[in-house]
Amino acid sequence: MNALLIYPEFPDTFWSFKHALRFIRKKASSPPLGLLTVAALLPEGWNKRIIDLNTRHLSDADIAWADLVFVSAMVVQRKSTYEVIHRCKLAGKKIVAGGPLFLGEWEKFPEVDHFVLNEGELTLPVFLRDLERGSPQHVYTTTEYADITQSPIPQWELIDTRYYDSLSIQYSRGCPFNCDFCNVTAMLGHRPRTKTARQIIAELDTMYNLGWRRNIFFVDDNFIGNRKQIKEEILPALIEWRKGKTGCSFITEASINLADDPELMKMMVEAGFTSVFVGIETPDEESLAECNKGQNLRRNLVESVHTLQRWGLQVMGGFIVGFDSDRPSIFQRQLEFIQTSGIVTAMVGMLQAPYGTKLYQRMEEEGRLIQDMTGDNTDGSTNIIPRMGLETLRQGYQQLLDELYSPKRFYERVRVFLETYNPPRVNVTLHLEEIYAFFASVWRLGIVGKERKEYWRLFFWTLLKYPRKFALAITFAIYGYHFRRVNRAQST
Q: What residues contact 439, with CB distance under 8 A and at least 6 apart?
A: none
- pLDDT of 380 reads 85
Position 211 in a domain: yes
pLDDT at residue 485 above 90?
Answer: yes
Average confidence (pLDDT) over 29-56 = 97
Domains in the chain, number: 3
Same domain, 82 and 168: no
By residue count, the chain amounts to: 492
Mean pLDDT of 256-266: 98
Say if residue 410 is in the same domain as residue 436.
Answer: no
**Residues 120, 147: Cα–Cα separation, whole Å:** 11
Q: Which helix (H) or strand (E) holds 278?
A: strand 273-281
pLDDT at 281 over 90: yes
pLDDT digits 0-9 by tens, 25-39: 999 999 999 999 999
Q: Which residue has the higher pLDDT, 426 or 188?
A: 188
CB 35 within 8 A of CB 50: yes
- DSSP code for 53: T
445 and 480 assigned to the same domain: yes
* Beta strand extents in 8-126 (DSSP E only): 47-52, 68-72, 94-98, 114-116
d(CA 57, CA 77): 16
**136 and 153 belong to one structural domain:** no
pLDDT digits (tens, 9 = 90+) for 132-172: 999 999 999 999 999 999 999 999 999 999 999 999 999 99
Residue 157 sits in the same domain as residue 107? no
Q: What pairs with residue 347 in β-bridges?
A: 318
- Predicted confidence at residue 427, as pLDDT, reads 59
Give the model's pLDDT for residue 247: 84
β-strands 94-98, 139-140 pairing: unpaired
Query: Does 415 lie in the same domain as 329?
Result: yes
Q: Which of 361, 388, 420 is the last residue of a domain?
A: 420
10 Å CB burial of residue 442 (0-12, 13-18, 19+) is middle
- Binned at pLDDT 50, 70 and 90, residue 492 comes out as confident
Give me the percent of the chain exceeding a pLDDT of 70: 99
Whether 427 maps to a domain, the answer reads: no
Per-position b or e across 145-179, b if 16+ CB within 10 A of its CB:
bbebeebeebbbebbeeebbbbbbbbbbbbbbbeb
Q: What are phi and psi of 176, to 5 degrees?
A: -75, -15
CA 240, 242, 248: angle at the middle one, nearest 5?
A: 155
Question: Distance between CA atoms of 316 and 15, rounded to whole angstroms?
Answer: 11
pLDDT for 45 beyond 70 = yes
Q: What is the pLDDT of residue 431?
A: 76
**Is 407 a domain residue?**
yes
With respect to residue 232, please indicate whether it lies within any of the assigned structural domains: yes
Q: Is pLDDT at 283 greater than 90 in this prediction?
A: yes
Helix (H, G, I), strand (E, B) or coil at 72: strand
pLDDT at 474 over 90: yes
Same-domain check for residues 125 and 176 = no
The answer as to whether 277 is a domain residue is yes
One domain, residues 124 and 161: no
Residue-wise pLDDT tens digits, 79-108? 999 999 999 999 999 999 999 999 989 999
Per-residue confidence (pLDDT) for residue 316, from 0 to 100: 98
The reported pLDDT for the residue numbered 9 is 97
Q: In Å, what is the CA distance from 490 to each residue of 14, 264, 294, 349?
A: 10, 39, 33, 13
Q: Work out the burial of residue 239: count CB atoms within 10 Å of its CB; fewer than 13 is exposed, 13-18 middle, 19 or more buried.
A: middle
N-to-C CA span, the chain: 47
Four-point Cα dihedral 7, 8, 11, 12, nearest 10: 40
For the domain that residue 318 is a member of, what is the CATH number? Answer: 3.80.30.20
Residue at which a domain ends, from 140, 170, 202 = 140
Cross-strand pairs, 204? none
Q: What is the pLDDT of residue 217?
A: 98
Which residues span the domain enclosing 459? Answer: 432-491
Write the pLDDT tens digit of every residue in 315-344.
Answer: 999 999 999 999 999 999 999 999 999 999
Judgement on whether residues 228 and 244 belong to the same structural domain of the protein:
yes
User: How far is 284 from 112, CA to CA, in rounded Å?
Assistant: 44
Query: Which pLDDT belongs to residue 371?
Result: 82
Residues 6+ apart with CB under 8 A from 328: 388, 392, 396
How does DSSP classify residue 10? P
Residue 281: inside a domain: yes
As a whole number of angstroms, the distance between CA 154 and CA 168 comes to: 10
Residue 425 lies in a domain: no
Task: Look at residue 428 in the predicted model and tell me its pLDDT.
Answer: 60
Are both 337 and 219 inside the same structural domain?
yes
- pLDDT at residue 374, rounded to an integer: 87
For 200-236, what is each residue's pLDDT tens digit? Answer: 999 999 999 999 999 999 999 899 999 999 999 999 9
Same domain, 407 and 456: no
Residue 162 shares a structural domain with residue 193 = yes
Q: How far is CA 229 from CA 66, 190, 193, 223, 226, in A?
A: 42, 16, 11, 11, 6
Q: Is the pLDDT of residue 11 over 70?
A: yes
How far is C-alpha 167 from the chain's CA centre?
12
Q: Mind giving me the DSSP string for 179-242?
A: -TT--HHHHH-SS-EE--HHHHHHHHHHHHHTT--SEEEE--S-TTTTHHHIIIIIHHHHHHHH
pLDDT at 491 over 80: no
How many CB atoms neighbour CB 330 within 10 A?
Answer: 23
Which CATH number is 35's domain given?
3.40.50.280
Q: Indicate whether 87 belongs to any domain.
A: yes
What whole-number distance in Å separates Cα of residue 179 and Cα of residue 359? Answer: 9
Among residues 115, 140, 165, which one ends one of the domains? Answer: 140
The residues near 341 (Cβ < 8 Å, ≥ 6 apart) are 301, 302, 305, 306, 315, 317, 416
Q: What is the mean pLDDT of the chain?
A: 95
pLDDT tens digits, one per residue of 423-463: 987 656 667 889 999 999 999 999 999 999 999 999 999 99
